[in-house]
């Protein structure tokens, strides 16, 4: 049975309180954040017009020139696609501000198109009933005080700009800091900045990217491979966690430590709609991720009351491209959340998590063993030792299933913009067999898997084992996850 996200949070809060860990109880604002659950990330700025992901504050302000700028279209699209809030990149690492800031000349007021984009998005969010959040880079390549020996000078610059953002644009549900790795943590004086935010907008939830750090690791280690219960909160204070661009485990923990105290922290995933994983839009029209991949990533990222924000960047005209708008509407239809107003759907219970699994060959038993294909992580994977290979999993034979999902491992090639990648997949032909009534029978034959393949069977099956047979591949194929589920059972 599906349990509502808010009810689940309250039950968990009661359980934590009962155990005596008062510091890790869930706050009212965390409950509201968990209920939102699904947001649109909007990267737009000077990088959009210069074919790059990161810039150093030296791009000419005149290059920012959207000729059909329409923030209302962005938020209207978000509403239609079932998003419950929007997070706008108000300033990236380059320092270019999408509002008229008194503290810099590197902003929209100095550009050919002087529209206050922060105001436009805020107004549209009010119009369409969505919450409004802001991304703000702590790292500012343009600002002269950034490298001052007196770190408080730059902190005052940050506080001045945050005051503008927090007093001129209504209620801000989240403030999403990035770039924290560019200085030692102590130099940001985050307790001072956090207190400043809460004084102006006490209900605003605050985070800094790469929130959690492995115990005993020095500055420069961004995050643990897998966040574990009790890991150290690196950027403190924070109200929730981020780990861009990584994915949390399915069994993601919620309680982390700072100064010998426990704190309950949700996790907000950041994903790109683009197949190339670009944050800022490029001049070329780039394919969007498949709806199968987006659906499965949605379930994964919102499991355990975590959150997913999906980046849908406007193009050089200042518009969300039609093929991307249609893709997120297709996803909304798949999830049953078109036009909003409905609870977010839960993911399907995977009957094959951590069951006994074996492979016909493995490229490296230590790194890419068969059990990586059905563990709780999408960031581990089995890689076969040959181009033709088999993966066999045991199943609870008394439980019926009618849905299969496969995430294929990709080889990634970095592109010249500093972040984007091209993903290459190897599987060309495959079959799925089940062991039932003392014999193997083929239930599905396919060609390419790609990033993700959902197979919906027309009837329920039971089996004691299931086998993925890769019959043709270019190179050595790999699997990140092979899941088996029942569409009547959600968790």
Residues 204, 198 contacting (CB under 8 angstroms): yes
Strand-strand pairing, 205-208 and 174-178: parallel
CATH number of the 357-485 domain: 2.60.120.260
pTM recorded for the entire structure: 0.94
Q: What is the pLDDT of residue 14?
A: 46
Q: What is the pLDDT of residue 17?
A: 41
Q: What is the pLDDT of residue 18?
A: 40
Residues 53, 279 contacting (CB under 8 angstroms): yes
Which residue, 299, 302, 277, is CA-closest to 288?
277
pLDDT along the chain (491 residues), means of 10: 48 43 72 96 98 97 98 98 98 98 98 98 98 98 96 98 98 97 92 98 96 66 72 94 92 92 96 96 97 98 95 98 98 97 93 98 95 97 97 96 98 90 97 96 97 98 98 97 90 52
In angstroms, rounded to a whole number, what is the distance separating the alpha carbons of residues 343 and 2? 11
Q: What is the pLDDT of residue 5?
A: 53
CA angle 50, 271, 488 (to 5 degrees): 155
Q: What is the pLDDT of residue 223?
A: 54
In angstroms, rounded to a whole number, what is the distance separating the alpha carbons of residues 305 and 389? 36
The third-level CATH classification (topology) of the domain covering 5-335 is TIM Barrel (3.20.20)
Domain boundaries, the chain: 5-335, 357-485
Give me the phi and psi of 78, to 5 degrees please: -60, -45
Which residue, 267, 271, 223, 272, is CA-closest to 248?
267
Residues 132, 171 contacting (CB under 8 angstroms): yes
Q: What is the pLDDT of residue 12?
A: 52
Residues 223, 247 contacting (CB under 8 angstroms): no
Q: What is the pLDDT of residue 425?
A: 97
**326-341 burial code (b ≥16 CB/10 A, e <16):** ebbbbbbebbebbebe
Residues 66, 318 contacting (CB under 8 angstroms): yes
In angstroms, rounded to a whole number, what is the distance separating the alpha carbons of residues 264 and 304? 13
């Amino acid at each position: 049975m599906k349990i509502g996200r808010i009810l689940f949070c309250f039950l968990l809060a009661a359980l934590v309180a009962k155990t005596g860990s008062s510091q890790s109880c869930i706050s009212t604002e965390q409950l509201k954040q968990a209920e939102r659950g699904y947001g649109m990330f909007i990267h737009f700025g000077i990088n959009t017009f210069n074919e790059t992901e990161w810039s150093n504050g030296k791009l000419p302000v005149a290059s920012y020139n959207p000729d059909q700028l329409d923030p209302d279209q962005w938020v209207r699209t978000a509403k239609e696609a079932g998003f419950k809030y929007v997070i706008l990149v108000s300033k990236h690492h380059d320092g270019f501000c999408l509002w008229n800031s008194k503290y810099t000349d590197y902003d929209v007021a100095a550009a050919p198109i002087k529209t206050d984009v922060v105001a436009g998005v805020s107004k549209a969010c009010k119009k369409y009933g969505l919450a409004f959040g802001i991304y703000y880079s702590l790292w500012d390549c343009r600002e002269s005080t950034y490298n001052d020996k007196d770190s408080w000078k730059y902190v005052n610059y940050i506080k001045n700009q945050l005051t503008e953002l927090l007093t001129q644009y209504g209620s801000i549900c989240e403030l999403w800091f990035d770039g924290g790795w560019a200085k030692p943590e102590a130099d940001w004086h985050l307790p001072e900045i956090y207190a400043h935010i809460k004084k102006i907008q006490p209900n605003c939830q605050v985070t800094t990217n790469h929130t959690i750090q492995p115990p005993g690791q020095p500055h420069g280690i961004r995050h643990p491979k897998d966040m574990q219960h009790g890991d150290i909160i690196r950027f403190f204070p924070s109200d929730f966690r981020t780990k861009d661009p990584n994915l949390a485990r399915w069994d993601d923990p919620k309680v982390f430590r700072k100064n010998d105290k426990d704190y309950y922290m949700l996790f907000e995933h950041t994903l790109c709609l683009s197949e190339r994983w670009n944050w800022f839009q490029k001049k070329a029209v780039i394919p969007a991720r498949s709806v199968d991949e987006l659906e499965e990533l949605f379930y994964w990222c919102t499991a355990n009351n975590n959150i997913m924000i999906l980046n849908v960047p406007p193009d050089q005209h200042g518009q969300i491209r039609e093929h991307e708008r249609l893709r997120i509407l297709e996803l909304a239809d798949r999830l049953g959340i078109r036009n909003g107003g409905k609870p977010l759907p839960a993911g399907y219970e995977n009957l094959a998590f951590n069951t006994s699994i074996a492979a016909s060959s493995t490229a490296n038993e230590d790194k890419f063993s068969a059990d990586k294909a059905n563990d709780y992580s999408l960031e581990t994977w089995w890689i076969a030792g040959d181009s033709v290979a088999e993966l066999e999993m045991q199943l609870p034979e008394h439980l019926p299933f009618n849905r299969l999902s496969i995430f294929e491992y990709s080889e990634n090639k970095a592109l010249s913009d500093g972040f984007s990648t091209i993903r290459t997949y190897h599987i060309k032909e495959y079959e799925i067999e089940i062991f039932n009534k003392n014999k193997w029978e083929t239930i599905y034959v396919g060609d390419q898997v790609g990033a993700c393949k959902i197979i919906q069977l027309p009837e329920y099956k039971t089996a004691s084992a299931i086998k993925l047979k890769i019959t043709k591949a270019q190179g050595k194929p790999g699997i990140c996850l092979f899941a088996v589920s029942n569409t009547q059972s959600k968790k």
